[in-house]
Amino acid sequence: MILSKKFPGSACQVVLVLILMSGCGGDPFERSKMTGTVTFEGKPVPFGEVLFSPDSKRGNSGPSVVAPIAPDGTYQTQDQKGAIPGPTIATITGFAGTPDSVKGGGGPRILVDNHVVEIDVPKKSGVFDFHLTKDQIRNP
């Protein structure tokens, strides 16, 4: 082989690198599937998201994950892409309607603008409902 004559051992190095790379890419983090509902003044929030971020100030680390809010106010993280267990900051953004429900352009009215709640995500899966009121949140 020409490659091995010019660069002794390089063919073996290439094979070794390919073998090592094939073991990479798995998610090293334990994940928890989270589900629940988001309400504002007792009514389901029909559109928005819940962002779950590990709380580094309370000793947790890892990637954040976003769970979209469905029209009935429910949310759930994707399978295999759940929240990191432990102390977590949940940031909620919610709107009064979906983008396609607004006539004449523009977007739906903001109900909840980056409202932060400290929670503890369980190790397996968990249900956490966010029942928000005007007195709890800041509106734009």
Look up the CATH number of the domain holding residue 110: 2.60.40.10
Domain assignment present for residue 28? The answer is no
Provide the domain limits for residue 101.
33-132
Domain assignment present for residue 37? The answer is yes
More confident residue, 122 or 108: 122
Residue 111 burial by Cβ neighbours in a 10 Å radius (0-12, 13-18, 19+): buried
pLDDT in tens, 58-112: 999 999 999 999 999 999 998 788 999 999 999 999 999 877 766 666 778 889 9
Query: Which residues are CB-contacts of 13 (< 8 A; sequence separation ≥ 6)?
Result: none
What's the DSSP call for residue 13?
H
Q: What is the CA radius of gyration of the chain?
A: 22
Q: What is the reported pLDDT for 46?
A: 95
pLDDT in tens, 6-60: 545 544 454 444 444 444 556 788 999 999 999 999 999 999 999 999 999 999 9
Domain assignment present for residue 114? The answer is yes
Domain assignment present for residue 6? The answer is no
CB 131 within 8 A of CB 36: no
Q: What percentage of the chain reaches a pLDDT higher than 90?
A: 61
Number of domains the chain contains: 1
Q: What is the reported pLDDT for 20?
A: 43
Write out the E strands in 57-121: 65-69, 74-76, 86-95, 110-121
Domain assignment present for residue 20? The answer is no
Question: What letter represents residue 33's amino acid?
Answer: K
